[in-house]
A and B are shown apart, each in its own frame.
Chain A
Amino acid sequence: MLAAAQIRLDTNALDFAILGIYFVVVLGIGFIAKRYVKTSLDYFLSGRSLPAWITGLAFVSANLGATEILGMGANGAQYGVATVNYYWIGAVPAMVFLGLVMMPFYYGSKVRSVPEYLLLRFNKQSHLFNSITFALATVLIAGVNLFALALVLKLLLGWPILLGIVIAAGVVLAYITLGGLSSAIYNEVLQFFVIMAALIPLTIVGLHDAGGWGGLKDKIGQSKIGEAGLHALQGTDPGHVTNPIGATWIGLVFGLGFILSFGYWTTNFAEVQRALSARDLSAGQRTPLIGAYPKLLIPAVVVIPGLIALWKVPHLGSGGDLAYNNAIPLLMNQYLPNGMLGIALTGLMASFMAGVAANVSAFNTVVTTDIVEPYIARDRDDAFYIRIGRYVTIGGIVVAIGTALIASGYQNLMNYLQALFSIFNAPLFATFIIGMFWKRMTPAAGLWGLVAGTIAALVTYVGYKWAGWFTFGSDLDESFWGAGAAFVVDAVVTVAVSLVTRPKPVEELQGLVWGMVNQEDAAAAAVHRSWWESPKLLGLGAIAAGAVLTIIFF
């Protein structure tokens, strides 16, 4: 077995050539976009010229950054098979819900961003509050991606993390200015295939080495997480938790499956935007549904390598270079010869750069159009807002360097991300779900529900992490309960405030609330070219497949 000292990737010129080709292609797309198609750019980037498989893959790919590769690999090594709960319980049902239930509201109201829905449904205050917390969340998440990228640079070139963070930030800045938003969706889909080309061979080699799935199970049974690490839901009964994930099934199903996951997939701007750019409501609905099918299978190439790393890399999880976050890069270095190693490196770099770029550009959009334009400098010419947008991009990158340093304090990036989601997305989900289904919910309730929910999640987090008021089974368990608290507090405050304040007149809620969906869109959605394009069939099929897989790995 290779020793723990073997941290730096054993790359040669061939690997760098493969990485170089990728950057040439990505930047080439940006250059061509600038030179040839100035006027009609939005014409075929709006999505209507692209088949639904592209928007669907872009949807899943927008989430396939540091969170998936490093974070889920880390979880696979730390918690074992229970990590699949993030996919089959914690993603697929929410994606189906977004497609079947929520898309008609988003699409019907013709909003450009998620905060903009709040402006139409409630009032300026809730819009401004959400825009600010959203901007904060995107720079924090961009920081996670930046740190993950620096981690890869450290493994690859042996650079110190801080230098890696600063250089990675510079590269991303160049990448955003050159490629621009125009090539974002292209890069996401391209990146999906490159990541798969990196992970599938890694999984094949690792499974072959372990003697197949049966052999790997034996080896995990003898590892430090033991037999309990081979089950998705076994050992999660309240009062008798033996599963390495350290959470009860109540926390898993309610906190992760319902609140965290629904909050993330249905209110996250970077995700919803993909579906909003589809050519009609039917294609918009199908975007997350098509994305759900690859999502069902991704654990096979992320969680399994995490398990293999637990067996193959001695002392994994002991910190430093052997932190759980490094599980997948360590395994790549152990197994892949030059050539495949270059592909693996390219896949990792591509996903992190896209992750930073997506969040920084979302930050830029929200700060410019949802904060500066309506509240700070109204009615200026276009050039003014474009200039502001540029400054905001640079500012966002600089702040992201700072937040990358916060992220570097975490052994397991996924836990940090889940904590962020519990604070920023969980209350938003409660406000959305009540606002969409209850006409009586008032604008004041929209604001105070959000404020109270955010504070509840913050108190849970601070109380666990620093103040020592609460104890939970694990960091992950904290984020489940933090999300639960945010949701419940938001809902209670929303209902209470609604009962004592004045609702909006019903005619202002057209297309924003259940039962008042835009009639034209509803009619258009009912027409599908073939039976297999039916959103209901696609959605229920994905949920059924997830349920069957969960039972198999119970």
Chain B
Amino acid sequence: MSQAPQNDGERGGEGIGGREAQAANLFDLRRIIGGLFLLYGAILTVTGLGDSHAEIAKAAGVHINLIAGLGMLALGAFFVAWGLLRPLGRQLAEADGEAEPRA
């Protein structure tokens, strides 16, 4: 898990802002949340597909693993897409170009 975000970094990409932008992307919370929820969503969806009648009956007849798994996949995809479409590294570089904000 801990090496996954590294591969996500901007190395070989647009390379904006160099090391700081890369570090910022590494720590982009949207990617961390997105990655975690994609993984959780996948686990729950697969579990949900294999749930027995007893397990569904436990949750008052709601297929909760499957429903929650799909919901988490959607949330994870939303965060990853948002993080990839507007990389934090580029935003930082732009913000620095405009003005020197308060430290």
Q: Which residues of A contact B (CB under 8 A)?
A: 14, 17-18, 21-22, 24-25, 27-29, 31-33, 36-37, 40, 43-44, 46, 48-50, 54, 186, 189-190, 193-194, 197, 200-201, 204-206, 208-209, 279-280, 334-340, 343
Contacts and interface: CB of A to CB of B under 8 A. Distances in A.
Given A338-B47, A339-B47, A46 B92 contact: no
Nearest to B65: A339
Contacts of A193: 33, 37, 75
Nearest to B46: A339
B2 interface: yes
Contacts of B68: 197, 200-201, 340, 343
B62 to A, nearest CB: 5
Contacts of A206: 60
A32 B2 contact: yes
Closest 6 CB pairs of A and B: A28-B2, A209-B60, A337-B55, A339-B47, A24-B1, A201-B68
A18 B55 contact: no
B85 interface: no
Interface of B: 1-2, 5-6, 20, 23-24, 26-27, 29, 32-33, 36-37, 39-40, 43-44, 47-48, 51, 55-56, 58-62, 64-65, 67-69, 71-72, 75, 88, 91-92, 95, 101-103
A190 B44 contact: no
A330 B39 CA distance: 27
A397 B43 CA distance: 35
Chain A CB within 10 A, most for which of B61, B64, B69, B91: B64
A474 B95 CA distance: 54
Nearest to A30: B2
B53 to A, nearest CB: 11
Given A14-B47, A18-B40, A339-B43, A205 B60 contact: yes
Determine which residue in A17, A200, A334, A343 has the highest number of CB atoms from chain B within 10 A of its CB, and name it.
A343
Contact of A50 (B1, B29, B47, B65): B29
A383 B23 CA distance: 27
A313 to B, nearest CB: 14
B1 A21 contact: yes
Contacts of B101: 48, 279-280
B27 A279 contact: no
Given A24-B1, A46-B103, A340-B44, A190 B32 contact: yes
Contact of A25 (B1, B65, B72): B1
Contacts of A186: 27, 29, 32
Which interface residue of B6, B47, B95 has the most chain A CB atoms within 10 A?
A: B47
Contact of A44 (B75, B92, B102): B92
A31 B65 contact: no
A337 B5 contact: no
Contacts of A279: 101-102
Given A50-B29, A189-B29, A204-B64, 14 more contacts: A17-B43, A21-B39, A25-B32, A28-B2, A28-B5, A32-B6, A37-B27, A190-B36, A193-B33, A193-B37, A197-B71, A204-B62, A337-B59, A337-B65
Contact of B20 (A43, A189, A336): A43
B5 A18 contact: no
A49 B2 contact: no
B33 A205 contact: no
B102 to A, nearest CB: 6
Given A204-B62, A343-B44, A22 B51 contact: no
A46 B103 CA distance: 8
B48 A22 contact: no
Instruction: Point out which of A36, A200, A206 has the most chain B C-beta atoms below 10 A from its C-beta.
Output: A36
B102 A32 contact: no
Contacts of A29: 27, 32
Nearest to A20: B1
Interface centre among B37, B39, B69, B102 (most CB of A within 10 A): B102
Given A193-B37, A337-B64, A32 B103 contact: no
A197 B72 contact: yes
A25 to B, nearest CB: 6
B64 A189 contact: no
Contacts of B69: 339
Contact of B44 (A40, A44, A205, A339): A339
B2 to A, nearest CB: 3
